[in-house]
Structure 1
Amino acid sequence: MEVEVEKGGGDKKSNKRLSVERIYQKKSQLEHILLRPDTYIGSVEKLTQPMWVYDEEKELMITKDVTFVPGLYKIFDEILVNAADNKQRDEKMNTIKITIDKVHNQISVWNNGKGIPVVEHKEEKMYVPTMIFGHLLTSSNYNDFEKKVTGGRNGYGAKLCNIFSTKFTVETSSCEYKRSFRQSWQKNMSLTKEPTIRDSVGEDFTCVTFSPDLSKFHMEELDDDIIDIMKRRAYDIAASSKGVRVILNGKKLPVKNFRDYINLFLKDKYDENDQPLKVVYYDSNPRWQVAVTLSDKGFQQASFVNSIATTKGGRHVDVVADQIVKKLLEIVSKRDKGGIKIKPFQIKNHLWVFVNCLIENPTFDSQTKENMTLQAKSFGSKVTLSEDFMKQASKCGIVESILSWMKFKAQTQLNKKTGAAKLSKLKGIPKLDDANNAGTRNSQSCTLILTEGDSAKSLAVAGLGVIGRDKFGVFPLRGKLLNVREASHKQIMDNTEINNIVKIMGLQFKHKYNDPEDLKTLRYGKLMIMTDQDHDGSHIKGLLVNFIHHFWPNLLKYNVVEQFITPIVKVFKGKFSQAFYSIPEFEEWQKETPNFHTYKVKYYKGLGTSTANEAKEYFTDIDRHRIKFRYGGTEDDASINLAFSKKKIEERKTWLKNFMEDRKKRNELGLPELYLYGKETSRITYNDFINRELILFSEVDNLRSIPSSIDGLKPGQRKVLFTCFKRNITKEIKVAQLAGSVGEISAYHHGEASLMGTIINLAQNFVGSNNLNMLMPQGQFGTRLHGGKDAASPRYIFTYLNPLTRLIFNPLDDPLLKNLYDDNQRIEPEWYIPILPAVLVNGAEGIGTGWSTKIPNYDIREIVANLYRMIEGEEPVKMLPSYKNFKGTIDEISDNNRYLVSGEISILDDNSIEISELPIRTWTQAYKEDVLEPML
């Protein structure tokens, strides 16, 4: 570089030149290391951070804030790792001795591995120990083509310790060369004498003794903190060096292997159930030792690469953690399908990973070697954690901890969604009639009435005209509540009904309500359920009870939940009237009343049947209609779980089966049917509610959802055919009009939309629907494109009886059928008797409570042929499922009625294929969107 100097007086020129020399200087490498130590050994300033150290009193590893100088720690570590490296050169090496003398500021590290060659280097004209300990950029690790699993690499290592010491001594004995060597350096490696060489027949060893130059580290003595860290590194070496015992200050360390070392960290650690942490180990690969356990402080790791403590981890830790995370993510996703979406880093936060490995020619991001950066493909070995390891890892408490965290996270999100603060005034909740005192200091005396629909709300509001609105609020439910026990987190988050109830009540998902005082945070002290006195009303009650029990079980213990019951039947005679709250109670009254037929009977199918005057009567005598739920103990919890948990399917089967058998026996013995609500009923347990009321819905749910094996029909379908037969509908009629007729003739009490869907399904004839459609479709009744969901509005399409239907359901059988009655109205038969098994012709599918069924369609001609065989006393021939106009194939793949359904595809040329058939119920549009479009 040229520097231009301004002409002028000599003094000015001299000053200019002096400033240039001061700015641009040349230093020797030794001077540069001492001037800029942070480049080589890290900071020489004191640093305070939490670190693991060994507590000699407790005999375990603890974390504490340690103040130390990283540079001093590093030079000690370089000597220690050199000693550990010698194990890779000499398998017979079995001892490392470390002595830390605080008083004399002296540290020594001795190992009995193969000694350094005591021989003069022919090129450098000096002894090898002199060269590698006293001259910079000398090393045995410069051959990158040689694969080594040692810690040294860059040729600084021990020299740095020499440079930052006031005195540095190397002693070694080599059996191979039968010589011993001793040489000392002083004043930061600037002074030395010729080495002492003697003949030796003793054992191999190498010992490095040094006195750190404390002034370079702004220290006056080796303080307790730096000594604690050095001692911890002694334990690290004992753990990471297989087959090497470590003696620290004359005492053998109690760590024989990596497992002993891990136990030092976990001695006082317990899981959420107060059980000692379970650790899972992997050591099938000679170069890899891995362990994992549960962490409650985010991701933690303790790892070693060739005995170097990689305190910041690196790619060796990543390759292990990533495998564990991937497997746990699969397990958690299966265990909690509907939970919040969890990301890999969130899984990782529950892991505590220990890794001890040997890596060929490792690379690091700095001379301090805290983070290993070598790509996994260059490790020289591959670690593939075994299936058994993964299985055990999933059982050591990590999965449970993740699921618990997911639940907490979900509750936090739900709290944010609902707001959940105790407010005296709520906005933005349609149809809510809030109590005047809700959310105030008198909120404990308030009751929220949840009604089944708007008509029931009208009844409740009419009743409030009697008792006032200060303590009572009303909110109508839109149909049945979500079964939160089996719902996904997203479903709950997106469910307006649940969010509204939470807001209105002032509930908080994160609260457990363990103390009665917690109830003061609610906007309402009581939750009253007001539904129809039918099976669906019972189900709505059950779903609400399930909702509260799932999120806040303690609220049931504090009797927060109540119900409001209304008559299901009333009898009148003159001025006399009597209300009944269950059909069995009414039937019992009939048996006890000789002239019961002289009474006028009024059936209440829903709350909407009651008049405004009757509503006022109910609320005037509110204590009669207010039934309190009383918590009866753990049997209540068990009953609620039995009714609503998907894990209890088999138990529900037994539950229902026992109930039906018991009721059958009572009928045979002429005993009255048991009922829950009577004249004197004022409170019931949840166990009674589940086992004596909700169970009736479960029974009816099966009858509604699962087709009869006799006629292949569900009750709704049977009602449609009954209406068509009775009115002889052989000419076109609108689907919407037919639905009205069904409601009138067969006492259908549910939504018309559902009934119109039933009519449309009976008339569908595309591939995959009916083999024999009972009704004829006139208009767009749906296609294979969308699986029938593309049917036109019921107002615009027509239908009538298929002429074949009455041939199958012979009218000559009608007088023999057992018809049902509803409110003294004769309705459809219990079942029809078709001339062939209709359940096989069109198949059957349904999911009830505890039971479900799925029967495919069969060819009607094969069914008829088998019927003829059976009439002749022959065995029927086995049939395969068959769908009208289906061009694909159906093959049996096992003996338990499992079949493989295949479509048809043709390869036209290298760029074209033709799909001429899809498997049954693989709908065309969905196939295009889900399969074909992603391939384009």
Structure 2
Amino acid sequence: MENQTNYTEDNIRSLDWKEHIRMRPGMYIGKLGDGSSPDDGIYILLKEVIDNCIDEFVMGAGKTIEVGIKDKTVSVRDYGRGIPLGKVVDVVSKMNTGGKYDSLAFKKSVGLNGVGTKAVNALSNYFRVESVRDDKQKAAEFSAGNLTSEEEITESTKRKGTKVVFVPDDTIFKNYKFRNEYVVRMLKNYCYLNTGLSIYFNGEKFSSENGLKDLLEEDIKEDDMQYPVIHLKGDDIEIAMTHSKSQYSEEYHSFVNGQNTTQGGTHLNAFREALVKTVREFYNKGFEPSDIRKSIVGAISIKVIEPVFESQTKTKLGSTEIGPDMPSVRTFINDFIKTKLDNFLHKNPETADLLLRKILQAERERKELSGIRKLAKDRAKKASLHNKKLRDCRVHFTDIKNPLSLESTLFITEGDSASGSITKSRNVNTQAVFSLRGKPLNSYGMTKKIVYENEEFNLLQAALDIEESMEDLRYNKIVIATDADVDGMHIRLLLITFFLQFFPEIIKENHLYILQTPLFRVRNRKETIYCYSEEERVNAIEKLKPKPEITRFKGLGEISPDEFVHFIGQDIRLDPVMLDKATTIESLLEFYMGKNTPDRQDFIIRNLKVELDVVAP
């Protein structure tokens, strides 16, 4: 016992704010990530800076925000009031310093804890803040939260406002890159929620005149709408909704105080509930809730005084009250929808008729499927007892109070050897594996019936638990892990087709990814480098010369579990599967999976890349 460490005052140390943020970044920005997910830390940093600009706009100061991202350098400029010059350094480097403690000025703001830009500063290897007001300017520069230079207050002819430039620290955010698609979506959401605001991103302008109506009209093509978007606005609440002709499941966009609550919460639950109640009363029919909501595409935005969220990154609203001495969220939304939607349907009988037709169609389809659904469920239950297709993990996406829930991942892989390698090297807490037997069925043009009739699809649907609602999705990331050869590409395409056809929100909400695996291993006696491209291979050979050993991986099955752990661990490389807003799902499926056409042959020939004997992933 003598060598036991003594527990004295010397063991207790106080971290200053910078050290604490850098040591525990997850407490401030959620997960780190490399930019392949829209909720990765680098986008939270950008959001924290823009939130301050939005607050200025809400206060009536500055209608334009300019955002620029070049490589890893981000700049954000607003034309608001500018930070008071004497406080420029404090606001970005002293905890609990900010303008949002005055509850009247910012009572419906999201960034209420005075941390925002301090976290950005601490997690950036370069950070510059510049403020202009009263024809004077002041600037300061930092590195990892430490002040490196401070300029004196000088005269200025620039327009008033604040400019922040930062470079996320690549020792914290490994191998990161900003994906413009995610940034554009974030900026568009800001515009939908703040009509009259203009945001320029790398010179391209985004703005919205009709708020959530514009969001839905961009999300769903006009010829796929069952009826024109119903758009309802009130004090502190806005709702837009329509039904899709082709989509099977429900899809929602929800916001609180301008924050995109991707995991919903009390406000979204109230919206779904109130919609069913109002529709039943309007038609005086006891429709099933699932028939009313099937294929709905909806958006809701509310403002709450000092909201309570269920997670650090504010993705799920926990508040039950709109504010002190005010009605509950549920009552507030229910009363609004009951009055406004009922009035709308009375005044627009054509829309009411089209909505009724959609509900009756959903009812018919549900009844047709009910027999086969029961058989399929029984089969899935039996199969799950004996079937080794799914090797599950312990933490799921639905365990929202567990910080690891965002890391929950399902790898879909093909063949015993690849499945075996991933299964042996995975993290059993957050990584599950689903094994395919050969190539899945081409589901293009088929009805939902096939999901129940095809054992593999039925088991995959059961593993994901998305039959009833996307809210039950058990994994945040669904990763297709196939060989980077022609067969592997085909399996990827067939799986993407399955999701596009029956569960497009999996792709729309950024849950589907392709696993990048190395094509080469280059090593000498001291070091091993895994290479994902020809360029990386050349660089590795140069670094490990004179005569490194080079191995070419032809398939996942060739990679041992000891090595595989490197590719699905901290340094995992994922390519998100994204939908281009300009392309409808129907046209995409028709192009890739429809009858073979000269257009597709031309496309394949134009896009073929030959690099030695490497098939690019």
Instruction: Report the TM-score, using the length of structure 1 for normalisation.
Output: 0.36
**Gap change, CA 1:202 and 1:26, over 3 Å in 2:** closer
The residue type paired with residue 265 of structure 1 is: D
**Gap change, CA 1:348 and 1:139, over 3 Å in 2:** farther
**Gap change, CA 1:396 and 1:160, over 3 Å in 2:** farther
For residues 140 and 48 of structure 2, the distance between their equivalents in structure 1, rounded to whole angstroms, comes to: 19
Matched, 1:405 2:362: yes
Deviation of 1:168 after TM superposition, in Å, equals 0.9
Q: Which residue in 1 is equivalent to 2:319?
A: 374
Matched, 1:211 2:167: yes
For residues 26 and 260 of structure 1, the distance between their equivalents in structure 2, rounded to whole angstroms, comes to: 49
Q: Which residue in 2 is equivalent to 1:107?
A: 74
The residue type paired with residue 203 of structure 2 is: G
1:360-399 alignment to 2 at 5 Å? 360-378=305-323, 382=332, 384-385=336-337, 386=340, 387-391=342-346, 392=348, 395=352, 397-399=354-356
For residues 74 and 417 of structure 1, the distance between their equivalents in structure 2, rounded to whole angstroms, comes to: 43
| Aligned-pair identity (%) | 24
Q: Which residue in 1 is equivalent to 2:195?
A: 242
Q: Residue 63 of structure 2 is aligned with which of 94, 101, 121?
A: 94
Matched, 1:140 2:70: no
The residue type paired with residue 215 of structure 1 is: T
**Gap change, CA 1:143 and 1:94, over 3 Å in 2:** closer
Q: CA RMSD in A?
A: 3.4
Q: Contact 1:110–1:206 at 8 Å: present in 2 too?
A: yes
Q: Which residue in 1 is equivalent to 2:20?
A: 32
Deviation of 1:96 after TM superposition, in Å, equals 0.9
The residue type paired with residue 94 of structure 1 is: K
For residues 375 and 113 of structure 2, the distance between their equivalents in structure 1, rounded to whole angstroms, comes to: 60
**Gap change, CA 1:140 and 1:345, over 3 Å in 2:** farther
**Gap change, CA 1:147 and 1:21, over 3 Å in 2:** closer
Deviation of 1:346 after TM superposition, in Å, equals 5.5
Q: Contact 1:81–1:308 at 8 Å: present in 2 too?
A: no
**Gap change, CA 1:227 and 1:24, over 3 Å in 2:** farther
Deviation of 1:368 after TM superposition, in Å, equals 0.8
Q: Contact 1:98–1:107 at 8 Å: present in 2 too?
A: yes
For residues 368 and 322 of structure 1, the distance between their equivalents in structure 2, rounded to whole angstroms, comes to: 26
**Gap change, CA 1:147 and 1:217, over 3 Å in 2:** closer
Q: Contact 1:293–1:396 at 8 Å: present in 2 too?
A: no
Q: Which residue in 2 is equivalent to 1:293?
A: 242
Please give the secondary structure, in 2, of the residue aligned with 1:208.
strand
Q: Contact 1:108–1:208 at 8 Å: present in 2 too?
A: yes
Matched, 1:81 2:51: yes
Q: Which residue in 1 is equivalent to 2:296?
A: 351
More relative contact order in 1 or in 2 (CA 8 Å, sep 6+)? 2
Q: Contact 1:173–1:203 at 8 Å: present in 2 too?
A: yes
1:36-185 alignment to 2 at 5 Å? 36-46=24-34, 66-67=36-37, 70-89=40-59, 91-102=60-71, 105-118=72-85, 127-144=86-103, 148-175=107-134, 178-185=135-142
Q: Contact 2:240–2:299 at 8 Å: present in 1 too?
A: yes
Q: Contact 2:130–2:140 at 8 Å: present in 1 too?
A: yes
**Gap change, CA 1:137 and 1:348, over 3 Å in 2:** farther
The residue type paired with residue 97 of structure 1 is: E
Structure 2 residue runs without a partner (length 5+): 377-448, 451-617
For residues 315 and 117 of structure 2, the distance between their equivalents in structure 1, rounded to whole angstroms, comes to: 17
Deviation of 1:30 after TM superposition, in Å, equals 2.4
**Gap change, CA 1:141 and 1:390, over 3 Å in 2:** farther
Deviation of 1:281 after TM superposition, in Å, equals 0.5
Q: Contact 2:137–2:156 at 8 Å: present in 1 too?
A: yes
For residues 105 and 68 of structure 2, the distance between their equivalents in structure 1, rounded to whole angstroms, comes to: 33
Please give the secondary structure, in 2, of the residue aligned with 1:216.
coil
1:201-600 alignment to 2 at 5 Å? 202-219=158-175, 221-223=176-178, 226-253=179-206, 255-258=208-211, 259-267=213-221, 270-271=224-225, 277-283=227-233, 285-295=234-244, 296-331=247-282, 334=285, 342=288, 344=289, 347-378=292-323, 382=332, 384-385=336-337, 386=340, 387-391=342-346, 392=348, 395=352, 397-413=354-370
1:190-201 alignment to 2 at 5 Å? 190-200=146-156
For residues 255 and 123 of structure 2, the distance between their equivalents in structure 1, rounded to whole angstroms, comes to: 25
Structure 1 residue runs without a partner (length 5+): 7-11, 48-65, 119-126, 420-509, 512-936
For residues 305 and 28 of structure 1, the distance between their equivalents in structure 2, rounded to whole angstroms, comes to: 32
Please give the secondary structure, in 2, of the residue aligned with 1:217.
coil
Deviation of 1:68 after TM superposition, in Å, equals 5.7
Q: Contact 2:216–2:297 at 8 Å: present in 1 too?
A: no
For residues 135 and 27 of structure 1, the distance between their equivalents in structure 2, rounded to whole angstroms, comes to: 14
Deviation of 1:44 after TM superposition, in Å, equals 1.3
Deviation of 1:416 after TM superposition, in Å, equals 8.2
Q: Contact 1:281–1:389 at 8 Å: present in 2 too?
A: no
Deviation of 1:397 after TM superposition, in Å, equals 4.1
Please give the secondary structure, in 2, of the residue aligned with 1:318.
helix
For residues 79 and 205 of structure 1, the distance between their equivalents in structure 2, rounded to whole angstroms, comes to: 13
**Gap change, CA 1:240 and 1:18, over 3 Å in 2:** same
For residues 273 and 113 of structure 2, the distance between their equivalents in structure 1, rounded to whole angstroms, comes to: 30
Q: Contact 1:278–1:397 at 8 Å: present in 2 too?
A: no
The residue type paired with residue 352 of structure 1 is: V
Please give the secondary structure, in 1, of the residue aligned with 2:343.
helix
Instruction: Report the TM-score, using the length of structure 2 for normalisation.
Output: 0.53
For residues 396 and 264 of structure 1, the distance between their equivalents in structure 2, rounded to whole angstroms, comes to: 24
Q: Contact 2:243–2:295 at 8 Å: present in 1 too?
A: yes
The residue type paired with residue 255 of structure 2 is: F
Deviation of 1:269 after TM superposition, in Å, equals 5.9
**Gap change, CA 1:110 and 1:348, over 3 Å in 2:** same
Deviation of 1:396 after TM superposition, in Å, equals 7.3
Q: Contact 2:65–2:76 at 8 Å: present in 1 too?
A: yes
Q: Contact 2:195–2:208 at 8 Å: present in 1 too?
A: no
**Gap change, CA 1:215 and 1:155, over 3 Å in 2:** same
Q: Contact 2:82–2:162 at 8 Å: present in 1 too?
A: yes
Q: Deviations over 1:463-508 (max 9, x none)?
A: xxxxxxxxxxxxxxxxxxxxxxxxxxxxxxxxxxxxxxxxxxxxxx
**Gap change, CA 1:21 and 1:217, over 3 Å in 2:** farther
Deviation of 1:373 after TM superposition, in Å, equals 2.2
The residue type paired with residue 347 of structure 1 is: I
* Structure number, greater radius of gyration: 1
Q: Contact 2:140–2:147 at 8 Å: present in 1 too?
A: no
Deviation of 1:395 after TM superposition, in Å, equals 2.4
Q: Contact 1:315–1:374 at 8 Å: present in 2 too?
A: yes
For residues 115 and 106 of structure 1, the distance between their equivalents in structure 2, rounded to whole angstroms, comes to: 22
Q: Contact 1:69–1:217 at 8 Å: present in 2 too?
A: no
Deviation of 1:216 after TM superposition, in Å, equals 0.7
Please give the secondary structure, in 2, of the residue aligned with 1:378.
coil
Please give the secondary structure, in 2, of the residue aligned with 1:116.
coil
For residues 277 and 42 of structure 2, the distance between their equivalents in structure 1, rounded to whole angstroms, comes to: 40
Q: Contact 2:100–2:106 at 8 Å: present in 1 too?
A: no
The residue type paired with residue 238 of structure 1 is: C
Q: Which residue in 2 is equivalent to 1:858?
A: none
For residues 64 and 373 of structure 2, the distance between their equivalents in structure 1, rounded to whole angstroms, comes to: 60
Q: Which residue in 1 is equivalent to 2:566?
A: none
**Gap change, CA 1:34 and 1:147, over 3 Å in 2:** closer
For residues 84 and 9 of structure 2, the distance between their equivalents in structure 1, rounded to whole angstroms, comes to: 44
**Gap change, CA 1:154 and 1:397, over 3 Å in 2:** farther
Q: Contact 2:196–2:207 at 8 Å: present in 1 too?
A: no
